[in-house]
Amino acid sequence: MSFNLKDILTPFTAWSRVVKEPVTIKDPFTREAAPRYRGFHDNDVQLCIGCGSCEAICENQAIDLVPIEGVEGIETKSGDSGLRPSIDYGRCCWCALCVDICTTDSLRLTNAYTWVDTDPDNFIFTPGVTPKDWYEKEEGWRKPGHGYEFYSHERVHMEELHADERKDSFIEFVKGYSAEQAKKEADRCVACGICTATCPAHMGIPEYIKAVRDDDMEHGMKILYETNPLPEICGRICTHKCEDVCSVGFKNGSDPLSIRWLKRYIADQIPADVDKYKDMLGTGEIAKNDKKVAIIGSGPAGLSAAHYLALLGYNCTIFEKLPQAGGMMRYGIPSYRLPYDQIDKDVDYILSLGVDIKYNVNVGTDITLEQLSKDFDAVYAGTGLHLGRSTRIPGSEHENVYQSVDLLRNIVTGAPVPVEKKVVVIGGGNVAMDITRSMARLQMEKFGEVNVIATSLEDEEHMPADREEVVEAREEGCTIIPGYGPQEVVITDGKVTGLRVWKCLSIFDETGAFNPKFDEADERIFEGDMVIESIGQGMDLSYLSEEIKSKIEFGPRGRILVNEDWQAKGLPWLFIGGDIIEGPDVIHGIANGHRGAQSIDKFLNEGR
Amino acid sequence: MINKFLGFKPDEKLLPSQTVTEDTEIDLSSHKYQKIWLGPNHPGVTGNMAIELTVQGTTVMRAKTHVGYLHRGFEKLIERRLFVQGFPTSIRMCVAEPDTNEYFIARSTEELSGYADAVPEYANWLRMLSLEMARLAGLLRGVPGQGGTFALGIGVQWGVYLRDLILDRFEELSGARVYHMYIIPGGVRGALPDGFKERMEDNLRDIDDFIIRIKKLMFHNSVFKQRAKGLAVITPEMVDKYGIVGTNARCCGVKRDVRKDNPYLYYDKLDFDPPTATDGDVYSRTWIRWQELIQTVDLIRQIMAKMPKKGDIRCKMPNVLNWKIPKGETYVRLESGRGEMGMYYVTDGSDKPRRINLRGPSYNHAISVLEHMLIGQDVADVHAIMVSLQTCPPEIER
Ligand code: SF4
Ligand code: SF4
Ligand code: SF4
């Protein structure tokens, strides 16, 4: 090998670097990390709902959800598990997947990255709760954006009949999901269970949504029936409190899961065949006992109680004053929202479990409650709210002023329903929307055009009706004018000609009592030939004899007081449920019917 | 000749009496041989592996690679996790260039679930950028590191500083310096930050300067030439026999580069020609890696010039928590700094991979090739040979 002088000298050019400034950082502790750096965690615990998605995605199982109850300055809210993520830095690899999936965007990584401590236990901490000096750092890792999302924020659209096709017809207008749509929608669920906690019946929502993804409808049905024996009905008209809290819908611009439609999808896949149902749910053979329970009313609470009591082997008899089962579900909800065959599907199965039902029997007149208490071991009363409430404004006693419950019932029974050219509805709840939309359909049939005005005390934002009800009513040609309080039914020459209203400024006073304030200067007259009041319903407790009334206790507004086992205080054999206790809505009725059944079981087994 | 120059006369009796080959018989009871363990804890070993050397004098008679010091069952860990949870573990199978493994996991899952074509264009360019940045970071350590094996430490210091600047760019792009966790199934995890290109260009200019300095330091250096030239020659015949890839194959004229032979991402839109050499020795390997340094800097410039200004960084995919992939298998490969790498990925319809297997070049280079090449070499060169093959133990022990 030959030597080359150049090769000996050239490397010495490296000495030229001696005069350069050193490149090392003298004090690494003050070096700021990049704005996107994945450093230590911070959590906005006020925003976080404890959904646990961060825990679910952490591949190192570094996250544990811990209760934060009692931590000063932190309040939990509705739709909040009361838990917050605590992180073990002995396991964390700072991947930030937890941040990327966080349903509320409360979690982030700051760009702080040095932490010296002598106690290893300190490295398990609850971000946002355990005091740390990096929380004030603004920079660090947040969800990247630019089309980056871990689950779809957009709900799969449910096909509906167009307003023009549906506004003159009572056929169901929401078409239901196809298998592909249902799976796509079910895919969005993060299985946090926040909805389960909020659902009055505590349905196993994430599990049945998983059953949709797995295409296992039978398993889905089993889960539905664990807590809810009316899936077809609830799958259509449930007030879906679960969706209000769904963590996937927590952020603005993100839709909650269509929990209700997915439930309907499962039930819709199973044909209306009680034998198939029994097979699937394993209820073919039920060992009967010798106890008898009377149930007054076949609404959601009564049916639910009957179902769970029948499964426990009790002999149940339902006393229904109307010719068909279902209560308000059949006689209060129009069929375009809840078709009768779907009610029958749910009810037939319950009756097939050996539940006896006597129609057209009015407890109180046809048979007394005392008699029932003698013939049966326990009585369950779920009699509901069937009496319309009046505004009692001047003119409201006119014969062309109606109660929505009465009209809705008449539509079902086929009794005559008066339909005028111009209708005014008072009320902003779901029942008000039901009557508004039903009247619109009847007007279409009769006159070929819609002219209904619905008005409510509450303004647009606070109307109690479900948003989609209001939107759909408008699509069908109804006029909804929220924020006005009725003052008088205008009567000219003995005929109703309209409703005089004032702008409503506030509904409740400082003490929270109902005490609306009006702006008299903003007065309007809504023209109408008939007025329908739909401001809520009252209960009809006339089946309680004076003697029974004297034995039980009543609370405010005439509500029967019950103990934690739903027993009327004073009469241990009388159990109360449904809208007269909680609600009004179907799912509360189903839930307390289920619990009522368990209490009756406990009561009848006491001492055994 | 240098011995003559220095007047040094070794005692011939102590040296092996014959040319050493794999077949040379060794009688350990003759007391002529000694066993030395190089590693697993040794500053000159490339990671957690050991070479069991049998030497006579300073001549290596036998070499055996031992692994098992770092085995954490990476593949099994990934097989027990959801598809989206795989990439943060995969990177541990390569510290120097972790991005390759992120790409494997992402690309395999995308192919098997039918999203391969859905990945946004912008994201694919960013993937290419991060892969080339990782190559650059590796070369900035690897090229001067070869000098380091011959006690030329200064270049390593220069290179590590510049590598740190690239890590700064990684930090602002991905949020981390070493384990970037940037390439995710469906795309990447961050858009290009404002001003990134300018800062990168500054760094690249520093690297241009470094490239010239390191050339003077190493390739115009009689000591380096003396020791590296002719050392541990890879012949074209060995290439197929041992499955040699990457610069280790190109150093003897076998031009293999997955980026050219089987273009992935947008490598077919880039203008480059993988450098080759003919001698196959340590010097040639270092020399073409130095040329790759120039080429990689150029590729990064090309990528930054050609990539779209903005766009989506991830395509719409199923909810990561519920993501199931139909039954299937795939093999994804790419050209890493150490040569062709690949991942075999099997799915069974569930929400976790059924089997994954990483095939890294070190599997051959650090075992069969190294064990073969060390025979007959001087102990003082073992470290240099090992580094010249770019052996990396985590690829062997997945
Ligand atoms: S994912 Fe977000 S909202 Fe849910 S528990 Fe974790 S930090 Fe809280
Ligand atoms: S950063 Fe990654 S490893 Fe750490 S807690 Fe979050 S998900 Fe788990
Ligand atoms: S439906 Fe919504 S709230 Fe319920 S488990 Fe799924 S993501 Fe959570």
Q: Using CB atoms within 10 A of its CB, is residue A509 exposed (0-12), middle (13-18) or buried (19+)?
A: exposed
Structure tokens at A72: 């000063």
Cα A62 to ligand 2 centre (Å):
6
Residues A519 and A401 in one domain: yes
CATH code, domain with A122: 3.30.70.3270
Q: What is the number of other CB atoms lying within 10 angstroms of the CB of residue B163? A: 21
Chain centroid, CA A214 distance in Å: 24
pLDDT at B215: 93
Token look-up 């039978």 returns A218
End-of-domain residue from the set A141, A172, A202 = A141
Q: Terminus-to-terminus CA distance in chain A, angstroms?
A: 106
8 A C-beta contact, residue A507 and residue A458: yes
In a domain? residue A6: no
CA distance B134 to B342: 17
Task: Choose among A17, A36, A12, A6: nearest CA to B206.
Answer: A17
Q: Tell me whether B253 touches chain A (CB under 8 Å).
A: no
In a domain? residue A12: no
Beta pairing class for B59-66 and B50-56: antiparallel
In this structure, what is the dihedral angle of CA atoms B241, B97, B114, B266, given to the nearest 10 degrees? -90
Residues A526 and A552 in one domain: no
Identify the nearest ligand to the CA of A97 by its number. 2
Residues of A in contact with B120 (CB under 8 A): 147
Task: Choose among A419, A431, A445, A417: nearest CA to A473.
Answer: A431
| pLDDT 10s digits, B275-285 | 999 999 999 99
The domain locations on chain B are 1-69+377-398, 74-359
Residues of B in contact with A94 (CB under 8 A): 176
DSSP codes joined into one string, A410-433: HHHHT------SSEEEE--SHHHH
Q: Terminus-to-terminus CA distance in chain B, angstroms?
A: 45
Low-confidence residues in chain B, pLDDT < 70: 1-3, 13-18, 43-44
Identify the nearest ligand to the CA of A87 by its number. 2
Q: What is the number of other CB atoms lying within 10 angstroms of the CB of residue A43? A: 24
In a domain? residue A322: yes
Residues A188 and A245 in one domain: yes
Q: What is the model's pTM?
A: 0.88
Structure tokens at A314: 């009790």
Structure tokens at A283: 């209820």
pLDDT at B13: 66
Bridge partners, A568 (sequence order): A562, A571
Determine the Cα angle at B354 with ends B351 and B360, to 5°.
120
pLDDT at A565: 86
Q: How large is the angle between the packed helices B121-148 and B99-113, nearest 10 degrees?
A: 150
Identify the nearest ligand to the CA of A58 by its number. 2
Whether ipTM tops 0.95, in short, is: no
In a domain? residue A22: no
CA distance B93 to B104: 12
CA distance A329 to A314: 25
Q: What is the number of other CB atoms lying within 10 angstroms of the CB of residue B316? A: 14
Residues of B in contact with A150 (CB under 8 A): 84, 319-321
Residues A381 and A426 in one domain: no
CATH code, domain with A176: 1.10.1060.10
Low-confidence residues in chain A, pLDDT < 70: 1-3, 607-608
Neighbour order of strands in the sheet with B50-56: B34-38, B50-56, B59-66
8 A C-beta contact, residue A9 and residue A3: no
Give me the half-sphere count of Cα atoms (radius 13 Å) on the Cβ side of residue A484: 23
In a domain? residue A11: no
Sign (positive or negative) of CA dihedral A134, A138, A139, A144: positive
In a domain? residue A276: no
pLDDT at A132: 93
Residues A399 and A533 in one domain: yes
CA distance B33 to B51: 16
**Alpha helix (H) residue ranges in chain B:** 2-6, 74-79, 87-90, 99-113, 121-148, 154-174, 196-214, 222-228, 236-242, 247-250, 258-261, 282-306, 362-363, 370-373, 379-388
Token look-up 């009561």 returns A603
8 A C-beta contact, residue A249 and residue A257: yes
| pLDDT 10s digits, B203-223 | 999 999 999 999 999 999 989
Residues A395 and A531 in one domain: yes
Which three-class secondary structure state does DSSP give residue A64?
Answer: strand
End-of-domain residue from the set A141, A167, A201 = A141
Q: How large is the angle between the packed helices A340-352 and A300-311, nearest 10 degrees?
A: 30
CATH code, domain with A503: 3.50.50.60
CA distance B379 to B52: 12
DSSP codes joined into one string, B126-150: HHHHHHHHHHHHHHHHHHHHHHHTT
Residues A479 and A401 in one domain: yes
Q: Using CB atoms within 10 A of its CB, is residue A300 exposed (0-12), middle (13-18) or buried (19+)?
A: buried
Residues A605 and A548 in one domain: yes
In chain B, residues 32-71 whose CB comes closer than 8 Å to chain A: none
- Cα separations in angstroms, B311 against A147, B121, B343: 8, 8, 28
Amino acid at B395: E
Range of the domain at A523: 391-537
What is the number of structural domains in chain A?
4
**Omega prior to A584 cis, within 30 of 0:** yes
Q: Into which CATH architecture does domain B74-359 fall?
A: Orthogonal Bundle (1.10)
Sign (positive or negative) of CA dihedral B34, B37, B42, B47: positive
Residues A414 and A488 in one domain: yes
| pLDDT 10s digits, A288-297 | 898 999 999 9
Residues lining ligand 1, CB < 6 A? Answer: A 43, 48-54, 85, 102-104, 106-107
Residue of A nearest to B154 (CA): A14
CA distance B181 to B101: 10
Residue of B nearest to A101 (CA): B320
In chain B, residues 145-164 whose CB comes closer than 8 Å to chain A: 152, 154-155, 158, 161
Residues A40 and A134 in one domain: yes
End-of-domain residue from the set A505, A537, A569 = A537
Q: What is the number of other CB atoms lying within 10 angstroms of the CB of residue B84? A: 26
> Taking CB atoms and an 8 Å limit, are B189 and A148 in contact across chains?
yes
> Taking CB atoms and an 8 Å limit, are B226 and A10 in contact across chains?
no
Residue B3 φ/ψ, nearest 5 degrees: -65, -40
pLDDT at B326: 96
DSSP codes joined into one string, B264-328: -TTGGGS-------SS-SHHHHHHHHHHHHHHHHHHHHHHHHHS-S---SB---S-TTT----SE
Residues of A in contact with B210 (CB under 8 A): none
In the DSSP assignment, the letter for residue B31 is: S
DSSP codes joined into one string, A243-300: HHH-GGG-STT-PPP-HHHHHHHHHHHS-S-HHHHHHHHT-S-----S-EEEEE--SH
